[in-house]
Amino acid sequence: MPNITKLTVRYAETDKMGVVHHAVYPVWFEVARTDYIKAIGMSYAKMEEDGVMLPVVGITCRYRQPARYDDEITVVTKITRLNAARIEFSYEALLPDGEAACEGTSSHAFVDAETFKPINFAKRCPEFFSVIEKCAKQDLGEE
Amino acid sequence: MPNITKLTVRYAETDKMGVVHHAVYPVWFEVARTDYIKAIGMSYAKMEEDGVMLPVVGITCRYRQPARYDDEITVVTKITRLNAARIEFSYEALLPDGEAACEGTSSHAFVDAETFKPINFAKRCPEFFSVIEKCAKQDLGEE
Amino acid sequence: MPNITKLTVRYAETDKMGVVHHAVYPVWFEVARTDYIKAIGMSYAKMEEDGVMLPVVGITCRYRQPARYDDEITVVTKITRLNAARIEFSYEALLPDGEAACEGTSSHAFVDAETFKPINFAKRCPEFFSVIEKCAKQDLGEE
Amino acid sequence: MPNITKLTVRYAETDKMGVVHHAVYPVWFEVARTDYIKAIGMSYAKMEEDGVMLPVVGITCRYRQPARYDDEITVVTKITRLNAARIEFSYEALLPDGEAACEGTSSHAFVDAETFKPINFAKRCPEFFSVIEKCAKQDLGEE
């Protein structure tokens, strides 16, 4: 089940073109990702305390329509890839009229918070992994 | 009536000290200000379209306790000064436990959006001004 | 000829992971792009005044090694695609030891600053286009 | 001797008003502060590694003239207060024509990087303190 995050465009997020600056979308996607993880009963803040981090290894953004100050934005987030070493989220930031402002993805590695070394997340956190795996299957329409 | 704005600390808003970077609070205060104006039935986005801007002429911040990733922050906003040329808002950003993270103020001039020249806001937008004046009196406990 | 931009990591650009936040790289790439355009004798600020804008239509970033506070970063910028409607820049952000921190691309449309409609840049600014075309050929090793 | 830092306005630092967003100046002042400390032969990055942090306890900014995209900004930084527990820096961000864009201050406490508890910096780092003390006296015109 894709997760829905609502946010309102901040003045500081606009640039002299009068629209949201393109580097703001990865920040929104991060907010949406935190939200997704919370929605499935987990917490990214707690994951980090438990010694697992999800550094971003890659992002892509395609910009469709400009978003403007005070627009209410809906971010639709889903998992589009998952294995024990990596996870990929996909995002759609929608304008108030439902048009896409930006579509993007972020890829993450599961690493140890101390050593920054890759870990096998399925082994390190089997319960969390099985919850995420189930969500991923739903998002991918495999279940 | 002071206005209440809720927001959640974004990962991107933290710095290597592990806490919210100090330059983030003026951005939150701006979000809270937009919210305040909306709460009294106005819209800052519309004000700008109508040719009036409120550029910031000064800010102050006093940092009390660090805020952390994913904390839910409550910003309490009120008007602490008002005349036809200037307006000052005061803010308290509170941590989940009610402790202050940061207290601040922002001062603004009423200017024409085209010329950036000062305007007499009471004359230019008498209805809006009288609404704001009433709020300011309530915030200052004069009414 | 790829262009070189030097910048120093700001404290505000780090996050609680202790390293540069991933959404900072598109901002650095934009700085490097402004610099590239300046290096070939043009000015993006002037282009906008002349009524041409280059909104970002897509970005990609691959993160390699973390960059840290106060690191001196070298961004190597080149043009990797060009036609009358679009331009693509590629970037490498290098750490002080020469290792890549992040590699990325940005794609841009040439649009009219008033209408935001696509323009034929080769026709609108033939002189600028021919300079850029020459640089693109050099960057692509075609000349 | 006040220290001079040069920086160029980034596109991402502007907002829909067409000028530099007011929350950017504290970030520039932080860049200028890092630079000041480096100019007197020290390093803030090294200070943190050595277990001392200088969290910001207060800031003020007065905005004078708008700065614009691609403007070269000169920040003039000096120490305006110093004792074993606290330090205050003052900043002037100047436009290319020498006019002030923004004047500000930042106050900092010397704290232990582990405990975040206040420390006596004069005792903890006597050599660094005596260098800073000398600079402060020069900045204040007392020497």
Closest of C137, C30, C42 to residue C83, by C-alpha: C137
In A, which residues are within 8 Å of C112 by CB distance?
Answer: none
Cα(A33)–Cα(A14) distance, integer angstroms: 22
**Band of residue B143 on the pLDDT scale cut at 50, 70, 90:** low
Cα(B74)–Cα(B101) distance, integer angstroms: 10
Contact D16 A19 (CB under 8 A): yes
pLDDT(D143) > 80: no
**Band of residue A143 on the pLDDT scale cut at 50, 70, 90:** low
Helix (H) or strand (E) holding A14: none
Cα(C106)–Cα(C131) distance, integer angstroms: 20
pLDDT(D22) > 90: yes
Whole-structure pTM value: 0.96
Distances B117 to B55, B106, B113, C120 between C-alpha atoms, Å: 11, 19, 8, 38
**What's residue A141's pLDDT?**
85
Torsion of CA D118, D124, D130, D132, to 10 degrees: -40
Distances D40 to B121, D25, D36, D37, D128 between C-alpha atoms, Å: 48, 23, 7, 5, 10
pLDDT(A142) > 80: no
Closest of A36, A33, C14, C28 to residue B20, by C-alpha: C14
Torsion of CA B68, B8, B10, B31, to 10 degrees: -120
In D, which residues are within 8 Å of B24 by CB distance?
Answer: 23
In B, which residues are within 8 Å of A53 by CB distance?
Answer: none
Catalytic residue among A15, A50, A70, A112: A15
pLDDT(C122) > 90: yes
Alpha helices (H) in C40-76, listed in sequence order: 44-49
Contact C12 D27 (CB under 8 A): yes
Beta bridge partners of B62: B103, D58
pLDDT tens string A77-133:
999 999 999 999 999 999 999 999 999 999 999 999 999 899 999 999 998 999 999
* Residue D13 burial class via C-beta count within 10 angstroms: exposed 0-12, middle 13-18, buried 19 and up: buried
Q: Is C140 left (phi over 0), alpha (psi -120 to 50) or beta?
A: alpha
Is A15 catalytic? The answer is yes
Closest of B127, B68, B72 to residue B96, by C-alpha: B72
pLDDT(B140) > 90: no
Cα(B25)–Cα(D58) distance, integer angstroms: 11
**What's residue C143's pLDDT?**
60
Q: Which two tokens mark A14?
A: 């606009």
CA D143 to chain B, closest CA, distance in angstroms equals 31
The neighbour count for residue A141, using CB atoms within 10 Å, is 7
**Band of residue C100 on the pLDDT scale cut at 50, 70, 90:** very high
Half-sphere exposure of B99 (CA within 13 A, CB side): 9
Interface partners of chain A (CB pairs < 8 Å, 3 or more) are B, C, D
Residue of D nearest to A15 (CA): D15
Largest Cα–Cα distance of chain D, in whole Å?
48
Interface partners of chain C (CB pairs < 8 Å, 3 or more) are A, B, D
pLDDT(D124) > 90: yes
Cα(B77)–Cα(B33) distance, integer angstroms: 7
pLDDT(B142) > 90: no
Largest Cα–Cα distance of chain B, in whole Å?
48
Contact C23 B12 (CB under 8 A): yes
The neighbour count for residue D108, using CB atoms within 10 Å, is 20
3-state SS assignment for residue B38? helix
**What's residue D95's pLDDT?**
98
**What's residue B100's pLDDT?**
98
3-state SS assignment for residue C143? coil
The neighbour count for residue B122, using CB atoms within 10 Å, is 17
CB pairs under 8 A between A and D: 28
Q: Are A26 and A106 in contact (CB under 8 A)?
A: yes
Mean pLDDT of C22-47: 94
Give CATH superfamily name and number for A3-139: Hotdog Thioesterase (3.10.129.10)
Cα(C110)–Cα(C124) distance, integer angstroms: 10
**DSSP state for residue A33 in the 8-state scheme:** H
Interface partners of chain B (CB pairs < 8 Å, 3 or more) are A, C, D
Cα(B109)–Cα(B112) distance, integer angstroms: 10
Cα(D128)–Cα(A20) distance, integer angstroms: 44
Question: For the ranges B20-34, B129-143, C103-117, D16-30, which has the lowest average pLDDT?
Answer: B129-143
**Band of residue C75 on the pLDDT scale cut at 50, 70, 90:** very high
Q: Are B9 and B20 in contact (CB under 8 A)?
A: yes
Cα(C106)–Cα(C60) distance, integer angstroms: 7
**Band of residue C76 on the pLDDT scale cut at 50, 70, 90:** very high
Interface predicted TM-score (ipTM)? 0.95
DSSP string, chain C: --EEEEEE--GGGB-TTSSB-GGGHHHHHHHHHHHHHHHTT--HHHHHHTTEE--EEEEEEEE-S---TT-EEEEEEEEEEE-SSEEEEEEEEE-TTS-EEEEEEEEEE-EETTT--B--HHHHSHHHHHHHHHHHHHHTT--
Which residue do the tokens 């004047």 mark?
D103
In D, which residues are within 8 Å of A69 by CB distance?
Answer: 16
In B, which residues are within 8 Å of A34 by CB distance?
Answer: 8, 10-11, 70
Cβ-nearest to C12 among B15, B19, B68: B15
pLDDT tens string B83-93:
999 999 999 99
Contact C70 D11 (CB under 8 A): no
pLDDT(D1) > 80: no
Q: Are C81 and C87 in contact (CB under 8 A)?
A: yes
Torsion of CA A39, A44, A50, A54, to 10 degrees: 120
pLDDT(D31) > 90: yes
Distances B103 to B62, B79, C110 between C-alpha atoms, Å: 5, 14, 44
**Band of residue B45 on the pLDDT scale cut at 50, 70, 90:** confident
Q: Which two tokens mark C119?
A: 């323009």
Cα(C18)–Cα(C11) distance, integer angstroms: 10
